[in-house]
Structure 1
C-alpha cells in the first residue's frame, strides 16, 4: 500500500505500524526574502540545505526533480531540500547564488554555498554526485 500525505510519500505494510518516507517534495522558494529566511533558519539549527535551481522549460530539470525528491527522503530530516524556478524569482537572486546553468544543485551550510553540481548529464549520475556532495560535507 502506498500512502501520500503532506508532500511525503511513504510505504507501509499491513504487518508494521512504522512507515518510511520514499519521497519528499522539494519545497519551493518563491522570492529573495524567503530564500534569506530559509538559509538563516537552517543556519540556526545547524542543518544543510540542498537547493535545485531549475526552470520549467528545462527537460533535464523536470526529469531530475523526482529523483532528488527520493534522495531527500534518504537524508530527511537532517538535510532540507528546496527548489527555485529561476524564471519566477528576481535575476538578482540567481546571480547572487552564482547560478549560470540549469539544472544546478547547490549545498548551503552556515549561510554560505559550500558546493554545487551542474546537472548536465544523466540524472542517476547527478543524483550520485549530489549524494557525494552531501556526504562529503557531513564528514569531520
Structure 2
C-alpha cells in the first residue's frame, strides 16, 4: 500500500506511538497484506474517505505480514479489515471489500 494519509506502523512500538499521538481523535487502522488483491482494490476508497476527514482522525496501516503482533492483538483473521479505536480501546470493526460499507462505517464514527 502506498503512503497517503494512512501512516505505516512497521512495528508494535510505532503503532503504540501513533495511537498515543492521536489523543482524543478516532484512530482507523487498515490491516492489509501486499498479496491481498481485495486490499489493493479498497485502498483508493479508504484514502478518499480519509481525505474528506483528514484532520478529524488518525489513519494507520498495518501490513499483517510485517507486523503480526498488532494483528494478533486485535484478532484480525481476514483481510481487508479496518478497526476503529478510541485511545487503545477497540470500538468497531469492518471486514470485507465493499467500499460503500467502509464509507458508512467511517461516516458513522464521524457523526458521533
Quick check: TM above 0.5? yes
Residue number in structure 1 paired with 2:108: 136
User: For residues 136 and 64 of structure 1, what CA distance do their matches in structure 2 show?
Assistant: 18
Alignment gaps of 5+ in structure 2: none
Q: How does 1:86-97 map to 2 (within 5 A)?
A: 86-89=64-67, 91-97=68-74
User: For residues 40 and 34 of structure 1, what CA distance do their matches in structure 2 show?
Assistant: 10
Whose relative contact order is higher, 1 or 2, with alpha carbons under 8 Å and at least 6 apart?
Answer: 2
Q: Conserved in 2, the CA contact under 8 Å of 1:71 and 1:127? A: no
What SS does structure 2 have at the residue aligned with 1:40?
helix
Runs (4+) of structure 1 exceeding 3 A deviation are: none
Given candidates 35, 41, 50, the residue that maps to 2:21 is: 41
User: For residues 92 and 26 of structure 1, what CA distance do their matches in structure 2 show?
Assistant: 19
Given candidates 61, 66, 74, the residue that maps to 1:83 is: 61
Aligned residues: 110
* 1:139 CA displacement: 4.1
Alignment gaps of 5+ in structure 1: 1-6, 8-23
Q: How does 1:116-127 map to 2 (within 5 A)?
A: 116-119=93-96, 121=97, 126-127=98-99
Larger of the two Rg values belongs to structure: 1
User: Cα RMSD (Å) of the superposition?
Assistant: 1.7
Residue number in structure 2 paired with 1:108: 85
Q: TM-score, normalised by structure 1?
A: 0.70
* 1:48 CA displacement: 0.6
Q: TM-score, normalised by structure 2?
A: 0.86
Q: Deviations over 1:51-94 (max 9, x none)?
A: 110000110011111221111101111012221110111x3321
Q: Conserved in 2, the CA contact under 8 Å of 1:51 and 1:83? A: yes
Given candidates 30, 38, 61, the residue that maps to 2:10 is: 30
